[in-house]
């Protein structure tokens, strides 16, 4: 059975006013994600990944564009409708420590999420404890940790609490904003496996934001590569890894470390001036760093077009 579209983002823009001018953090982003699928959103620091996630969750108001969740334009929702929507759209952050209250134990932290969303009464201590323990088990936290505090736990376990809090609400869409970037590589794999298992079991849809393509390789159905607020390439994951078309995507792929030191990866080191996101000129924003740039890449915007089935790219050279 064909999965249903859960999220549709159309021509989304978020510009910030700064003293130097309008900063184009997200500039005309369009994509759809089907229920139960994962879209990886990849690009280097400052390319607008977090801003995009926040605008989709309406933690920031967009400058222009539309966001449809289950077919409804959520930008038209009033405060009451937004509050109900929040249960269905949740976010997991990079640093769970920053979002956890240091004075609350694991079970108190999870219980708080259940109470805030009115899933349980604060007086229902027995029910809260039972559900908290269930959620702890789902995220692989041992029962003995129920009364521990965040500072007593390692980064991986803290991220598991963050995931349990989100699971408590049983959302449909989870925006994961660099959820494993602060963790050791071995722990990263455990958390990624957990997220994959939870998706298989509970049918979550993920927007998985990361600067590291290797992190989303096994988790994503599709990958969207962003550069300075714009989409530069989008394709099903296997196709993107096999046949990357945009020179920026190729550079990102070449930066993934290969376990065999004798293997020649032809790593592309990007040089050249970084284009400013403030009032950027028309044309490809990567052109100044691009090894293949031609004169035609500057001056007019490069269309984001489908060059093969489900494979889109914005490059003046293709
Ligand atoms: N509140 C704000 N006011 C002004 N500019 C902002 C604001 N938030 C983000 N920006 C700018 O918007 C651009 C995109 O930032 P964003 O945090 O979305 O990037 P990112 O891809 O998530 O980066 P990172 O990988 O470092 O998390 C950056 O140039 C940033 O400086
Ligand atoms: Mg970010």
Spatial separation of the C-alpha atoms in residues 150 and 106, rounded to whole Å:
7
Q: 49 lies in a domain?
A: no
Tell me how far the alpha carbon of residue 53 lies from the centroid of ligand 2, in angstroms. Answer: 9
pLDDT tens-place string over residues 140-158? 999 999 999 999 999 999 9
pLDDT tens-place string over residues 209-232? 999 999 999 999 999 999 999 999
pLDDT tens-place string over residues 227-271? 999 999 999 999 999 999 999 999 999 887 766 656 555 677 788
Instruction: Read off the pLDDT of each residue in 114-124 and give the average, rounded to a whole number.
Output: 94
pLDDT at 229: 98
Q: 2 lies in a domain?
A: no
pLDDT at 42: 98
Using only C-alpha atoms, what is the Rg of the chain? 21
3-class DSSP state of 295: helix
Query: Is the beta carbon of 50 within 6 A of some atom in ligand 1?
Result: yes
pLDDT at 259: 63
Query: Is the beta carbon of 25 within 6 A of some atom in ligand 1?
Result: yes
pLDDT at 89: 96
Question: In the structure, what pLDDT confidence band is assigned to residue 96 with cuts at 50, 70 and 90?
Answer: confident
* pTM as predicted: 0.94
Which residues are 33's β-sheet partners? 7
Q: 8 lies in a domain?
A: no
Spatial separation of the C-alpha atoms in residues 153 and 247, rounded to whole Å:
42
Q: What is the mean pLDDT of the chain?
A: 93
Which of ligand 1's atoms lies nearest the C-alpha of 211? 25
Spatial separation of the C-alpha atoms in residues 191 and 216, rounded to whole Å:
12
pLDDT at 258: 66
Pocket test for ligand 1, best of 12, 19, 23 (most atoms within 8 A of CB): 23
Q: Residues 6 or more apart from 151 whose CB is under 8 A from it? A: 102
Determine which helix (DSSP H) or strand (DSSP E) holds 84, and give its type and residue range: helix 79-88
Query: Is the beta carbon of 92 within 6 A of some atom in ligand 1?
Result: no
Ligand nearest to the CA of 177: 2
Query: Is the beta carbon of 230 within 6 A of some atom in ligand 1?
Result: no
Q: 118 lies in a domain?
A: no
Which of ligand 1's atoms lies nearest the C-alpha of 26? 14
pLDDT at 263: 56
Number of domains in the chain: 1
170 vs 163, 180, 223, 237, CA distance in Å?
11, 21, 25, 27
**pLDDT at 164 exceeding the cut of 70:** yes
Instruction: Read off the pLDDT of each residue in 75-84 and give the average, rounded to a whole number.
Output: 92
Q: 160 lies in a domain?
A: no
**pLDDT at 78 exceeding the cut of 90:** yes
**pLDDT at 273 exceeding the cut of 90:** no
User: How many residues are recorded in the chain?
Assistant: 318
Q: 286 lies in a domain?
A: yes
pLDDT at 122: 96
Q: 214 lies in a domain?
A: no
Q: 212 lies in a domain?
A: no
Nearest CA residue ID for atom 1, ligand 1: 16
pLDDT tens-place string over residues 281-309? 999 999 999 999 999 999 999 999 999 99
Ligand nearest to the CA of 22: 1
Query: Is the beta carbon of 47 within 6 A of some atom in ligand 1?
Result: yes
Structure tokens at 84: 């109900």
Give the least confident one: 22-26, 130-134, 266-270.
266-270
pLDDT tens-place string over residues 46-72? 999 999 999 999 999 999 999 999 999
Nearest to 110 by CA among 84, 82, 141: 141
DSSP designation for 172: S
Nearest to 285 by CA among 30, 20, 28, 51: 28
pLDDT at 49: 98
Helices (H) and strands (E) in the chain, counts: 10, 12
Quote the domain boundaries for residue 303.
245-318
Q: Residues 6 or more apart from 13 whose CB is under 8 A from it? A: 24, 26, 27, 28, 29, 62, 63, 64, 65
Query: Is the beta carbon of 49 within 6 A of some atom in ligand 1?
Result: yes
Question: In the structure, what pLDDT confidence band is assigned to residue 19 with cuts at 50, 70 and 90?
Answer: very high
Query: Is the beta carbon of 48 within 6 A of some atom in ligand 1?
Result: yes
Question: What φ, ψ does residue 239 adopt, rounded to 5°?
Answer: -65, -40
Spatial separation of the C-alpha atoms in residues 114 and 127, rounded to whole Å:
10
Query: Is the beta carbon of 211 within 6 A of some atom in ligand 1?
Result: yes
């Amino acid at each position: 059975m064909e999965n249903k579209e859960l999220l549709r983002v159309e021509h989304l823009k978020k510009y910030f006013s700064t003293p130097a001018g309008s900063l184009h953090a997200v500039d005309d982003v369009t994509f759809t994600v089907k229920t139960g699928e994962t879209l990886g959103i990849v690009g280097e620091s400052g390319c607008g990944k977090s801003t995009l996630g926040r605008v989709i969750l309406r933690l920031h108001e967009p400058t222009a564009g539309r966001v449809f969740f289950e077919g409804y334009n959520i930008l038209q929702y009033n405060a009451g409708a937004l509050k109900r929507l929040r249960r269905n759209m949740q976010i997991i952050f990079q640093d769970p420590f920053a979002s956890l209250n240091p004075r609350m134990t694991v079970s108190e932290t999870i219980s708080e999420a259940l109470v805030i969303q009115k899933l349980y009464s604060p007086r229902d201590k027995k029910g809260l404890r039972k559900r908290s323990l269930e959620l702890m088990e789902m995220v692989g936290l041992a029962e003995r940790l129920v009364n521990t505090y965040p500072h007593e736990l390692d980064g991986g376990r803290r991220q598991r609490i963050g995931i349990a809090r989100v699971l408590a609400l049983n959302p449909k869409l989870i925006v994961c904003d660099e959820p494993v970037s602060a963790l050791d590589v071995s722990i990263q794999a455990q958390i990624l496996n957990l997220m994959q298992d939870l998706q298989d079991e509970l049918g979550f849809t993920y927007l998985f934001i990361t600067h590291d393509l290797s992190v989303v390789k096994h988790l994503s159905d599709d990958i969207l590569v962003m550069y300075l607020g714009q989409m530069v390439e989008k394709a099903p994951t296997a196709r993107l890894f096999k046949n990357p078309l945009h020179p920026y995507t190729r550079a990102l792929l070449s930066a993934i470390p290969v376990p065999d030191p004798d293997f020649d990866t032809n790593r592309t080191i990007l040089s050249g001036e970084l284009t400013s996101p403030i009032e950027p000129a028309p044309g490809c924003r990567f052109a100044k760093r691009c090894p293949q740039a031609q004169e035609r890449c500057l001056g007019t915007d490069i269309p984001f077009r489908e060059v093969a089935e489900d494979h889109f790219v914005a490059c003046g050279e293709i």
